[in-house]
Structure 1
């Protein structure tokens, strides 16, 4: 049975999707089997994993699985990713399209916040980790993820607005997990992304460490253009070349090791 981890922040642009994709890659390289559930209607995680919607051969996505409102529905939308590397076979994807926005209108329907949890029942028993990439919100789509997750990892940048938004996520979990019928939901860690050699970043990193203490995972992810390039080109980091390529790969591999320790498989 998978450990389900939601990657969350209440602010956009902090690197949630990049972190989700690169943790999935690093975990798969160690032999772990990973399901990525794309809960962001932008579908960026899906695209970066090499998936593309083909209207001539249309396949259902996570939106249809949630709409189905039945146990195990996610299994019917899971697809392979598009990378051509050996470990890609250990990553599977429940992709998203903009149509996922339509699920927002169901926020007031009784029990709708449980539909992802219900859809994952039995659908991820054969993987080690289910990583759920959330939109930059704490509303319905993210609540679907939080109701289904075992743990939350906050992804933030060392900037004031991002750090404040991370605090809102922490408080939301503490105050609302019971209302999502998930009282055991825990904050497993905080990943700091996009670190640069700026005085303001150093100050905000110190603030994040003071606020979250031992929950801040090391190493911090440095801002590197090759990460942006890999995301844009929809390729794994193992195919990236450059002076900092080995450093970047090592960063995510160490973070994946931390995840395995913080959220051990069952």
Structure 2
């Protein structure tokens, strides 16, 4: 998949919709595993065939954008004129009709094994693990999932890009909790991430520069297994307070990465593929070389510890077909691997860089951009 739509058969539609209606659409589409653009297409098609529908209060609506099959928006406008309705009202009624026709599935019972654990990894830096981690966590929270986003990289890019301060070097931190050096409750380190349709369900565990010392301290630990189990032990108090825990891993193959891989393993009573690693790559040869090294680390740890570590899929990030044969042929090779599959291709566009510049979550800054749509696709696929 190279983009969520093709210019020849889709056209962008922008309207003003009530915030609650936009939120309900995103959550319901995610619950049912349906792309938002497909849900709106179904709704518009059904609405044009239906008789009169109740008016929707569109006062104070905010911008909403999606993509409809070429020509359908024109037909929607024609129907609105016939019924003497505004285009915003017609689209709002269409979405309401789709929601009414697609009720929310029953909530699932609590998971005995606790939160599903998704780590974002690749020992090569600059591939966009941080942006992908943040965006997927935002999308999961949009779906109604209680989500914790962990900045496990001592560089702290995730923390700063979202507009938060790194923890002070002398303060309690995730690394200190992992090493048994921290006092207090790890819950006290969490901060809510505000903005967008995910607000109230998304929290961040910020980075601290002391994580630079983590590998060395784990290596010299007297405990034989502490370096593999340290992250899991530190996060255990949070296991049943979230539906998903997303970890932005450092670009490293060291002991810290071992703890993250072990944390993402398939636990007793948990189905394979519920938790695991998402590998973020670029459409270039250096990412393939880096993946080979990561794969060797995964296989060695799994064999040494007699565990199963699921590879949930690849995310090909910052893709631009205009870069020519190197990019297009590399993308083909990622697809050809087959298992794990390519979850999504995130295009190289300005919106993510702009969101970082203004220190806002992408799904709050530009919730309807192509990158946001791809991130929701990833969230939906790993939650299936």
Query: For the superposition of Structure 1 and Structure 2, which TM-score range results when normalised by the shorter chain?
Result: 0.7 to 0.9
Correspondence for 1:97 among 198, 205, 208: 208
Mapped partners of 2:258, 2:359: distance in 1: 28
| Per-residue deviation, 1:149 | 1.3
| Per-residue deviation, 1:22 | 0.4
The answer as to 2:116 corresponding to 1:3 is yes
| SS at structure 1 position matched to 2:119 | strand
| Per-residue deviation, 1:217 | 2.7
Q: Is the 8 A contact 2:313 2:343 kept in 1?
A: no
Q: Which residue of 2 aligns with 1:112?
A: 226
Q: Is the 8 A contact 1:41 1:100 kept in 2?
A: yes
Q: Which residue of 2 aligns with 1:39?
A: 152
Q: Deviations over 1:231-266 (max 9, x none)?
A: 23221224435xx953222111111111112xxxxx
Q: Which residue of 2 aligns with 1:226?
A: 351
| Per-residue deviation, 1:10 | 1.5
Mapped partners of 2:190, 2:368: distance in 1: 30
| Per-residue deviation, 1:61 | 2.4
| Per-residue deviation, 1:170 | 2.0
Mapped partners of 1:230, 1:182: distance in 2: 42
Q: Which residue of 1 aligns with 2:299?
A: 174
The answer as to 2:277 corresponding to 1:162 is no
Give me the CA root mean square deviation: 2.3
Q: Which residue of 2 aligns with 1:264?
A: none
Correspondence for 2:316 among 154, 174, 192: 192
Q: Which residue of 2 aligns with 1:258?
A: 381
Q: Deviations over 1:187-219 (max 9, x none)?
A: 111111011122211111112222x31423343
Unaligned runs of 5+ in 2: 1-113, 266-275
Q: Which runs of 4+ in 1 moved over 6 A?
A: none
| Per-residue deviation, 1:226 | 1.3
Unaligned runs of 5+ in 1: 262-266
Mapped partners of 1:191, 1:54: distance in 2: 29
| SS at structure 2 position matched to 1:221 | strand
Mapped partners of 2:180, 2:339: distance in 1: 40
Distance 1:139 1:25, change over 3 A: same
Q: Deviations over 1:90-130 (max 9, x none)?
A: 11122112221121221321233111111111312121111
Mapped partners of 1:168, 1:39: distance in 2: 20
Mapped partners of 1:154, 1:230: distance in 2: 23
Mapped partners of 1:245, 1:4: distance in 2: 26
Q: Is the 8 A contact 1:75 1:123 kept in 2?
A: yes
| SS at structure 2 position matched to 1:68 | coil
Q: TM-score with structure 1 length normalisation?
A: 0.87
